[in-house]
Chains A and B, each alone.
Chain A
Amino acid sequence: MKLAVCIYEGPYNHEASDSAYNFIKAAIVKGHEIRGIFFYHDGVYNVTKLMDPPQDDRHIANRWSELGASGIDIVVCIAAAKRRGIVDDVLVPNVRISGLGQLTMMAIEADRMVIFGD
C-alpha cells in the first residue's frame, strides 16, 4: 500500500508526532511504501533544528530527518510555516518546505492517508 501521513500538532506538546512516527516505522517494517509525510498547522514545528530537548528524551526533529534521509518525501506547508516562523534556514536536513499542492497530490496518489492530530 502507498501510505501518506499528515501531522497537525507540534512536537512534545501533543502525542501526534510520536504516534505518527511509530505508525510509520511499523508500516515500513511491513513493507508498505510511504508516499509522503506532510506537516500542517503546528506540525511545522516538528522539523526545526533549533530543537534542543533533554538528553534522555527522544529528539523528534532528528528522527524525522533520519526518515527523510531514507528517501521519504517529508514536506512542510509553506503557508503554515511562514505564519509560525519556520523557514529553510532552520530546517533539519532531508525535509523541505512546499505548498498545499503537495498535500493534495499525497491525498490523491496515496491509497491511504492517515492524519495525526487533534
Chain B
Amino acid sequence: MRFTQPGDVILLMEDGVYGAVSGTAKAPLVEAALARKVRVCVLGADLKARALNDTIKGTEITDYAGFVDLVAENKIHSWL
C-alpha cells in the first residue's frame, strides 16, 4: 500500500479479496489508502466464490470486464 500514489488503483482478487472485507484487522490499511485517494476495486467473482458480502465502504466491486478496463486505463503492477 505504501507504494501507491493518489490516483492509482488497487484491484483485490483471488485470496486478496479478504482484504476488502469490512471490520477485519487489515481494514484500516484499505481505509487509509482510500483516504489518500487511491481507488480500491474488488473482483466480484472472487467475493462470491468465498461467500463474502460486507466489503469496506468506498471499495468498488467489479467483474473481469471491469478488470480488463482497469488494465487498459492504467499502468500495471501485478503485486505478487
Contacts and interface: CB of A to CB of B under 8 A. Distances in A.
Is there any pair of Cβ atoms, one from A and one from B, under 8 angstroms apart in the complex?
Answer: yes
B13 A26 contact: no
Interface residues of B, number: 17
B64 interface: yes
A16 B14 CA distance: 8
Interface stretch (A17-25, A62-70, A88-96): A17-25
A4 B33 CA distance: 28
Given A1-B71, A19-B13, A25 B76 contact: no
A30 B64 CA distance: 11
B67 A23 contact: yes
Interface string A77-118: 000000000000000000000000000000000001111111
A16 B78 CA distance: 12
A58 interface: no
B64 A112 contact: no
B80 A118 contact: yes
Given A1-B71, A32-B72, A112-B71, A26 B80 contact: no
A3 interface: yes
A36 to B, nearest CB: 15
Given A22-B45, A30-B65, A112-B75, 4 more contacts: A25-B64, A26-B68, A27-B71, A114-B71
Interface of B: 13-15, 45-46, 63-65, 67-69, 71-72, 75-76, 78, 80
